[in-house]
Amino acid sequence: MPIDLSIQLGPLALKNPVLVAAGTFGYGIEFQEFFDLRQLGALITKTITLQPRLGNPAPRLVETPAGMLNAVGLQNIGVEEFFSAKWPALRALGAPVILSIAGFTLEEFGALASRAAGTGIAALELNLSCPNVAHAAPGSKSGQRCFAQSAEETASAVRTVKGAADVPVFAKLSAEVSDLAAVARAAVEAGADGLTLINTIAGMVIDSDREAPALANRTGGLSGPAIRPIAVRCVWEARQAVRVPIIGVGGVASGRDALEMILAGASAIQVGTANFWNPRAPLVILKELGALVGQKKRPLRELIGAVRAAPA
């Protein structure tokens, strides 16, 4: 009997829970030469901003044990160029597409959501927590502004987007907060249809030969298997605080990693850094996950948040 991996992400019905993480899969269409992208639950674009961004200076990537640091800085072509140059081919693939957006002000979040409204985008993922860009508004002297590090600002961003576009909204939160549950609840109370956990974690690598940072930006976002236990903990904590769907992301590199996220409380998972060493990683993970769910002899939906209270 075929294994049913279908899931419900709020208003979104997806054929399976395997998605790709923003910033690790290009705009989506670039990977179609490796496998049929329609086999995945949904595609998530790299993060789009209102205006084009060149990103941070190179070097912007460095490998670390069990992961990597990136300081790309949200390089992208901007929302208008995305919809004119990328969206037609992406939409033609026939797979659900979630657009990742980032604003540096509430007004920018609102403008991005308004532009996406009515285009056929399946949902919006709000990048509220990127650790390697300055989030202050142009001309501001307040330094970095990371929406996800404040429950109030998270709620304001979600509320703004929900007021501008009638599509499902997923708030992407950070592990680097003192009270994750409070931020999660604020996002949901403001209208978020679900949460994405987690973004990368700020880190630093120093080249001991040069006695200088390995990245031009000095710090970057740590991703890969090294952060998976943190991501699993955050998914589990958020699951205790809210009852909306959660998308788990952070170091998922196998079907067993994906199942761990699901048992912690994720309804779906995103594959990120694994795409860099294997462009077919999402498909491999999907097949491995299907086999593991089959061994459980229980529907995938019954495994969401099914972790035991204590070791057996």
Active site residue ranges: 130
Counting Cα atoms < 13 Å in the Cβ hemisphere of 166 gives: 1
Cα radius of gyration rounded to whole Å, the chain: 18
**Tokens read off for 198:** 């987690």
> Does a cis peptide bond (omega within 30 degrees of 0) precede residue 48?
no
Q: What's the rounded Cα separation, in Å, for the pair 68 and 45?
A: 20
276 phi/psi in degrees, rounded to 5: -75, -30
| Max CA pair span of the chain | 61
The DSSP symbol for 76 reads B
277 phi/psi in degrees, rounded to 5: -100, -15
**Tokens read off for 267:** 């309804």
Q: How many CB atoms lie within 10 A of CB 81?
A: 14
Q: What's the rounded Cα separation, in Å, for the pair 172 and 151?
A: 13
**Tokens read off for 276:** 């860099």
